[in-house]
Structure 1
Amino acid sequence: MDSILKIGHRGAKGLLAENTLESIQLALDFGMDMIEIDVHKCSSGEIVVIHDFTLDRTTNGSGEIATKSWEELKKLEISGRYKIPLLTEVLDLIEGKCTINIELKGSNTAVATCKIVQDYIDSRNWNYSDFIISSFQVNELFKARKFSEEIPIGVLSKANISEAIKIGKDLKALAIHPSIGIVTQNNIKQTKNAGFKAIVWTVNEPDAIARMKQCGVDGIISDFPDRF
């Protein structure tokens, strides 16, 4: 049995518009163990699921997400037909079907995101083990850890796994999330020996997926959930 976590990147980014409910549903249809999404906080306080700090690349709007209200954002379209979802809508969609990796992209996202996570754990059928909060923004991760000692944390790294491990120890993190470009068998071994799970992004080609499995990673984030 394949014990490596199969994780859909922004849903099924390589197959359907990223970070949309439809893309996430497609990833679920392919049997993903976990969905990875990105979040920002809009001007009216809601946590919205979108990757970039601006609207221009993925929507028919423009400008910074942090300056827009939810009323403005929900009117926009992605690829002419999809909508920007709220984090709560994503959680409602995947509840009981898989776990979730929430990447804190925007500033001041940690506390609002953790409040939603805690609410779903307290009032719905979710457990701490159903979540990973990850980020490149170390200050946001420390805010998340201050909010809760129990919410699992992942430290993203695209340069130095040793440095990520040091930060991970300070955070009492669950996982290190290295870019595929820096992964070797040795540093995956180093990560696991330090007590962390190793979850690699973004792994798309079949030979790369096979290589990551040989390296002993715990999870693979891919744009193409159909390639596992």
Structure 2
Amino acid sequence: MKTANIGHRGAKGHLPENTLASFQKAIDLGANGIELDVHLSADGQVIVMHDETIDRTTDGKGAVKQQPLAVLKTHRIDFQFEIPTLSEVFDLVDRKVLVNIELKVFETAEPVVLLIEKYVLEKGWQYSDFLISSFDWLALEKVRALHAEIPLGVLTSTDLDLAIAFAKVINAETIHPYFHLLTDENVARMQTQNVKVYTWTVNEFEDLHRVTSLGVDGIITDFPDRL
């Protein structure tokens, strides 16, 4: 089976991360999935942003959760791009590729589930068009408690054994290990337990070749054109 090509924060190697332009670029470069990060605004909107603050990536300052959507929309990424909402990304993608939503904080779990349910019920999407992942395993437990069908991915940068055990508990579809953790043996072990292996963030040709040779199911990369 062909390895899933998932653009990390869009096509972060080409355009500013977590922007609509970056997500479109990933699609244009042949990605069959995009990965993005979410926080909540002060008025409860699901905002696509990696950091807790907008300081690093925009011309503004302050925590995402302390600013309403209208204020966040006045700031610019790289002097030209708006901060997108998750629904704006869904509208752009329009079921063309998988959307992998990484929950950065626990509080995003329920609003993201509600938004996914809306797109399935009102706009003809399938639950399989989405994948929710997180390092916050409590957030993943919350998603699973709210909804049995939304695919889940367990993120880990350290302990694969724990991730495998937890994936069983919440009936996760995927495990997302840091690529340096991977070996032939542990990739095979995860796959024999009916979970797919989506590894991150793999950018160099040598590393891409190595993880592809291990037979992973998906690769999250800043450069979808290198896969």
TM-score calculated relative to the size of structure 2:
0.98
What corresponds to 1:79 in structure 2? 78
Separation (CA, whole Å) in 2 of partners of 1:28 and 1:216: 23
What corresponds to 2:186 in structure 1? 187
What secondary structure does 1:35 align onto? Answer: strand
Separation (CA, whole Å) in 2 of partners of 1:106 and 1:42: 12
What amino acid maps onto 2:77 in structure 1?
A: I
What amino acid maps onto 2:180 in structure 1?
A: G
What corresponds to 2:195 in structure 1? 196
Separation (CA, whole Å) in 2 of partners of 1:82 and 1:214: 37
What amino acid maps onto 2:92 in structure 1?
A: L
Residues 17 and 79 of structure 1 are in contact (CA less than 8 Å); yes or no, is this contact kept in structure 2? yes
Residues 38 and 104 of structure 1 are in contact (CA less than 8 Å); yes or no, is this contact kept in structure 2? yes
* 1:225 CA displacement: 1.2
- Tell me the alpha carbon deviations over residues 71-97 of structure 1, each in whole angstroms, 9 at most, x when there is no partner: 110100001111100000000000131
Separation (CA, whole Å) in 2 of partners of 1:31 and 1:118: 27
Separation (CA, whole Å) in 2 of partners of 1:70 and 1:106: 17
Residues 200 and 221 of structure 1 are in contact (CA less than 8 Å); yes or no, is this contact kept in structure 2? yes
Separation (CA, whole Å) in 2 of partners of 1:191 and 1:162: 9
What corresponds to 1:32 in structure 2? 31
What corresponds to 2:216 in structure 1? 217
Structure 1: tracts of 5 or more residues without a match? none
What corresponds to 1:206 in structure 2? 205
What amino acid maps onto 1:85 in structure 2?
A: P
Q: How many aligned positions are there?
A: 227
Stretches (4+) displaced over 4 A: none
* 1:38 CA displacement: 0.4
Residues 41 and 107 of structure 1 are in contact (CA less than 8 Å); yes or no, is this contact kept in structure 2? no
What corresponds to 1:117 in structure 2? 116
Residues 42 and 70 of structure 1 are in contact (CA less than 8 Å); yes or no, is this contact kept in structure 2? yes
What amino acid maps onto 1:95 in structure 2?
A: D
* 1:125 CA displacement: 2.4
What secondary structure does 1:22 align onto? Answer: helix
What amino acid maps onto 2:44 in structure 1?
A: G
Structure 2: tracts of 5 or more residues without a match? none
What secondary structure does 2:113 align onto? Answer: helix
What amino acid maps onto 2:4 in structure 1?
A: L
What secondary structure does 1:176 align onto? Answer: strand
Residues 14 and 223 of structure 1 are in contact (CA less than 8 Å); yes or no, is this contact kept in structure 2? yes
TM-score calculated relative to the size of structure 1:
0.98
* 1:107 CA displacement: 3.4
What secondary structure does 1:190 align onto? Answer: helix
What secondary structure does 2:6 align onto? Answer: strand
Separation (CA, whole Å) in 1 of partners of 2:24 and 2:210: 27
Percent identity, aligned pairs only? 43
